[in-house]
Homo-oligomer: A and B are copies of this chain.
Amino acid sequence: MPSSRTSPSFPDSEYWDRIEKTRAAMEAEGLDAILITDPSNMSWISGYDGWTFYVHQAVLLSMEGEPVWWGRGIDAAGAMRTVFMEEDNIFGYADDYVQNPDKHPMEDLAKLVDAYGHGTQRVGIEMDNYYFSASAYKTLLKCLPKADFQDCTGLVNWQRTIKSEFELIYMRRAADIVTAMHEKIRNFAEPGMPKHKLVAEIYHTGISGVGGHWGDYPAIVPMAPSGLDATAPHLTWDDTPLRTGEATFFEIAGAHRRYHCPQSRTLFLGKPPQKYLDAEMAVDDATEAALEQARPGNRCEDIANAFNAALARHGFIKDNRCGYAIGLSYPPDWGERTMSFRAGDRTELLPGMTFHFMPALWLDDGGIETTEPILITENGHDRLCDTPGGLVVKA
């Protein structure tokens, strides 16, 4: 009996294409099977979608047949509602394994891996992945002493870099959503408004969606620090009022069917001091220089090098990466954890790749983020959003 999906995001053929690509990568690494525990990889390969990654779960992919979903017993019903596989390939474990120091769910997964004939084979595991804990690893080693475990962190992620037509449709819808969210900020923000009131509007716009396309939850909540708090890149919000003379950056994403389009803008209430205008010009110039390099055949580091050189001409330095791959994701990160725009990343840019170009500058008394999500095309790149550039200045 097949699972009972009511609104699948992709035709089954797309999952089989993904599996074929992944198996080629597995073969190149000499792997007989992999245990996929990154929720975004699980979803990409099987369609699984649920907020269940706070308990141990996995997809087992062998060199033949359908993937196998494994998770908490009560979540097997959610797998039935979302994955493309047959019901026979969905396995749930007993509830007393949940957050119980006396037993570990991976004991159950080990039995399944063994039953599928991989107990003495070469099995890939995502060693540096959220949710695959040190204890999960130790338990697998103990329960399957004859298996040859290999680190396959990133193996599935790397198959996801070039987006399909369906994926690009979803990302463009997410782009429309984040564009609307920034428009909301421009129109709604005013001096004295408590920050959380503005964030409530941002959420409302993001989930309401655009053009008849619903908003999904982004893998990161809005980051929206003001003033000195904006010297830190990853603070969220409280009820402090927006103040005249202060900058606030909004690092937010639109999301649709788990696909993300992040974009940041910086709001300044009142007249920006010269330092902010200088930083704005530096970021604008460096962005133009960097995006000139965003075309097939160039490498990730070409973008970073062009960006840093242009920034340096304006007297600014940025010592962290200026972009990363984006697409399907689950908390806590909307990046794909593969390519980064930084020195040393020599990955070749190819049509269909999608990135968040992230030329953020954190100054000693605030921060500026004016970022662009982009798609590498046959001849260059497209900006996914048409949000106006530069500082958002309101009186």
Contact = CB atoms under 8 A, between A and B. Distances in A.
Interface stretch (A10-18, A130-138, A349-357): A130-138
A332 B78 CA distance: 17
A49 interface: yes
A135 B128 contact: yes
A238 B214 contact: yes
A6 interface: yes
A80 interface: yes
Contacts of A85: none
Interface residues of A, number: 87
Contacts of A321: 95, 98
Nearest to A364: B77
Contacts of A207: 196, 199-200, 203
Contacts of A320: 73-74, 95, 98
A208 B232 contact: no
Given A133-B130, A196-B214, A78 B234 contact: yes
Interface stretch (A108-116, A215-223, A282-290, A309-317): A215-223
Contacts of A234: 50-52, 75, 78
A35 B95 CA distance: 29
A228 B129 CA distance: 32
Contacts of A78: 232-235
**Chain A, interface SS category:** loop
A153 B102 CA distance: 12
A119 to B, nearest CB: 19
A41 interface: no
B137 A128 contact: no
Most chain B CB inside 10 Å of its own CB: which residue of A51, A195, A342 = A51
Nearest to A76: B232
B203 A332 contact: no
A302 to B, nearest CB: 17
Contacts of A195: 214
Contacts of A125: 134
B138 A133 contact: no
B154 A232 contact: no
B130 A134 contact: no
A229 interface: yes
A69 to B, nearest CB: 12
B81 A104 contact: no
A127 B333 CA distance: 21
A216 B61 CA distance: 38
A239 interface: yes
3 smallest beta-carbon distances between A and B, as pairs: A78-B232, A134-B137, A128-B135
Given A81-B232, A130-B131, 16 more contacts: A6-B229, A50-B232, A51-B221, A51-B234, A78-B233, A98-B321, A99-B337, A130-B133, A133-B133, A134-B137, A135-B151, A196-B209, A200-B207, A201-B204, A214-B239, A331-B332
12 contacts: A4-B228, A54-B130, A74-B233, A78-B232, A104-B128, A128-B133, A134-B136, A135-B151, A196-B208, A204-B204, A213-B239, A216-B236
